[in-house]
């Protein structure tokens, strides 16, 4: 039976830190929400409480959807993120599987190189990539970012999946090989089902990174019709020293919804896979 002292101790040790970190995590979203709902008379009035909306309005959302190409940017972002994630997952699996399960000369060096490539800063890579994109004539096309995003996503997916593939018992792989399964069939029918949590987490992180990527999209996509949300919102709603804060916050809030929905949809499968064990003998 929990005593009064035990309840107080539980509140102080568990619930108080949880509430504190939850408030810190949700504060930016709350700030975006109230800023997007405030009329300009409140938004730029320093004498009003910045955390309260007195006269909420949807004008900033209406202006964002009607006076900018936000819907086109959203479509471009989703298209680029989905295709880039799919390419990265396929190539990441093809890279991680032989490094995790096959013995060959230089496997350890290649694994270290993959991790090192993921750590290379983007500003060091955009110059050679920009030259390649210009030589291929792909400037101001979604193909340019679809081809460049995997350069940072594939090493990450391979590094993450590498650890999951190593957890699969060798006996399962040997049994599949004995009955005549090829390497590709073994990977598809044994490794991928058993490593579903890793596959899902790699896909979620790859989708998030490709959707929020800014540098490559800023360099390669300069026309309004092909821009993604991060670049379009910044380029169109910041004009000189004028910041359209209401529309900026509305665009940031709407742009975060797809990722939030994906996390909420897959989190049950991801946590269930981790708690029940990624491999069941």
Greatest alpha-carbon pair distance for the chain in Å reads: 76
Of 65-74, 182-191, 227-236, give the lowest mean pLDDT range: 182-191
Q: For 128-191, give the DSSP string.
A: HHHHHHHHHT-TTSHHHHHHHTHHHHHHHHHHHHHHHHTTS-HHHHHHHHHTT--HHHHIIIII
- Read off the pTM: 0.83
Mean pLDDT of 262-281: 58
Tell me the angle at which helices 107-119 and 70-101 cross, rounded to the nearest 10 degrees: 160
Domains and CATH numbers, the chain: 4-43 (no CATH), 67-276 (1.10.3720.10)
88 — pLDDT class (breaks 50, 70, 90): very high
The reported pLDDT for the residue numbered 269 is 62
- pLDDT at site 226: 92
For residue 70 the two structure tokens come to: 């936000």
d(CA 122, CA 212): 14
The pLDDT-based confidence of 271 (bands split at 50, 70, 90) is low
The per-residue pLDDT for range 120-177, each reduced to its tens digit, is: 787 788 888 888 888 888 888 999 999 999 988 998 888 888 878 888 788 887 888 8
**Local structure of 243: helix, strand or coil:** strand
3 pLDDT band, cuts 50/70/90, is low
Average pLDDT of the chain, as a whole number: 83
The pLDDT of residue 5 is 61
Per-residue pLDDT at 126:
80
Residue percentage of the chain with pLDDT more than 90: 22
Classify 57 as helix, strand or coil: coil
* pLDDT of amino acid 273: 46
Percent above pLDDT 70 for the chain: 92
Across the range 247-270, mean pLDDT stands at 82
pLDDT at residue number 64: 92
Greater model confidence, 199 or 84: 84
Q: What is the mean pLDDT of residues 109-116?
A: 79
pLDDT, one tens digit per residue, over 167-185 is 878 888 788 888 888 878 8
Taking the C-alpha atoms of residue 8 and residue 246, their distance in angstroms, rounded to an integer, is 42
pLDDT at site 145: 93
pLDDT of residue 78: 93
Residue 7 has pLDDT above 90, yes or no: no
pLDDT-derived band of residue 263, with 50, 70 and 90 as boundaries? confident
pLDDT single digits (tens) 191-204: 778 777 788 888 88
The yes-or-no verdict on residue 272 having pLDDT over 70 is: no
Quick one: pLDDT at residue 81? 93
């Amino acid at each position: 039976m929990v005593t009064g002292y035990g309840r107080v101790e539980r509140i102080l040790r568990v619930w108080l830190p949880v509430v504190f970190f939850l408030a810190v995590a949700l504060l930016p979203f709350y700030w975006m929400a109230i800023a997007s709902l405030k009329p300009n008379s409140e938004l730029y009035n320093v004498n009003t409480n910045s955390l309260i909306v007195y006269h909420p309005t949807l004008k900033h959302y209406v202006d964002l959807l009607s006076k900018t190409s936000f819907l086109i940017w959203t479509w471009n972002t989703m298209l680029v993120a989905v295709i880039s994630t799919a390419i990265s997952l396929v190539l990441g699996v093809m890279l991680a599987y032989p490094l995790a399960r096959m013995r060959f000369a230089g496997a350890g060096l290649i694994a270290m190189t993959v991790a090192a490539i993921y750590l290379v800063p983007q500003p060091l890579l955009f110059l050679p990539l920009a030259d390649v994109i210009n030589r291929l004539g792909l400037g101001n096309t979604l193909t340019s970012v679809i081809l460049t995003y995997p350069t940072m996503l594939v090493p990450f997916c391979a590094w993450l999946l590498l650890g999951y593939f190593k957890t699969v018992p060798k006996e399962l792989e040997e049994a599949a090989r004995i009955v005549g399964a090829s390497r590709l069939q073994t990977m598809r029918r044994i490794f991928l089902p058993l490593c579903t949590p890793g596959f899902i987490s790699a896909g979620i992180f790859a989708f998030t990174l490709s959707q929020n990527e800014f540098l490559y999209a800023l360099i390669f996509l300069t026309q309004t019709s092909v821009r993604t949300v991060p670049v379009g919102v910044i380029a169109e709603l910041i004009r000189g020293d004028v910041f359209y804060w209401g529309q900026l916050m509305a665009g940031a809030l709407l742009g975060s919804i797809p990722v939030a929905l994906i996390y909420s949809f897959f989190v049950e499968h991801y946590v269930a896979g981790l708690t029940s064990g990624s491999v069941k003998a």
